[in-house]
A and B are shown apart, each in its own frame.
Chain A
């Protein structure tokens, strides 16, 4: 069974602080994606990382794919209340099926 383990499960921090969340697996994937999901809505794709060691930046969000393509991290600089949400990492064991981690529920306090 291919699993994506995310940590921490919950994170509540003050506005302006930095944070990192993690996604780990024992399997190698051709790519890994991060989605953000707000309450009552579907997940929205943030980024896809493909190459081992790849780093992608999306404004204050920095995504990294591990060298062995088994893990990934998401770093948020100077968190804002608008960053609040459920962050899901996702991978494709086959092209037509995503597997998701359980997610990190992030709450930014103003």
Chain B
């Protein structure tokens, strides 16, 4: 068990470019989450998968954002036509239980995106 892995750790991109991040959850965890954290704030919910089904999306997730978990294992988060306001830490988390309010999430180390 190597924990939740995210790739890349850092990404610098020019405004208007597309970027894609990958998350590999803990293998037996069927729930996968994406969060975004900006400086001085706690993480904010973006989207949630149970197995391969994307069950919830935040209103923060504009049309430029899309997430997939094609085989219920790894997940990708793509941002199209990046804007400077997209600069943030993108965190992936996973959990094995349907009661994370008791057992919590395991977070990855995040992908730090800088849009210039």
Asked if A50 is at the interface (CB within 8 A of a chain B CB), the reply is yes
Q: Is the interface of B mostly helix, strand, loop or mixed?
A: mixed
Contacts A48-B102, A48-B103 hold; do A42 and B93 have CB atoms under 8 A apart?
yes
30 A-B residue pairs with Cβ-Cβ distance under 8 Å, sorted by A, are: A4-B42, A31-B101, A33-B104, A35-B104, A40-B109, A40-B112, A41-B110, A42-B107, A42-B108, A43-B43, A43-B91, A43-B107, A44-B107, A45-B106, A48-B103, A48-B104, A95-B98, A95-B100, A96-B31, A96-B48, A96-B56, A96-B100, A97-B48, A98-B43, A98-B100, A98-B105, A99-B42, A100-B43, A100-B44, A101-B42
Task: Name which residue of chain A comes closest to B41, CB basis.
Answer: A102
Task: Name which residue of chain A comes closest to B50, CB basis.
Answer: A96
**How many chain A residues touch the partner (CB < 8 A)?**
26
Cβ of A90: which chain B residues have Cβ within 8 Å of it?
A: 42
Cβ of B113: which chain A residues have Cβ within 8 Å of it?
A: none
Asked if B4 is at the interface (CB within 8 A of a chain A CB), the reply is yes
Asked if B45 is at the interface (CB within 8 A of a chain A CB), the reply is yes
A103 to B39 Cα, complex, angstroms = 11
Asked if A12 is at the interface (CB within 8 A of a chain B CB), the reply is no
A50 to B91 Cα, complex, angstroms = 25
A41: shortest Cβ distance to chain B, in Å? 5
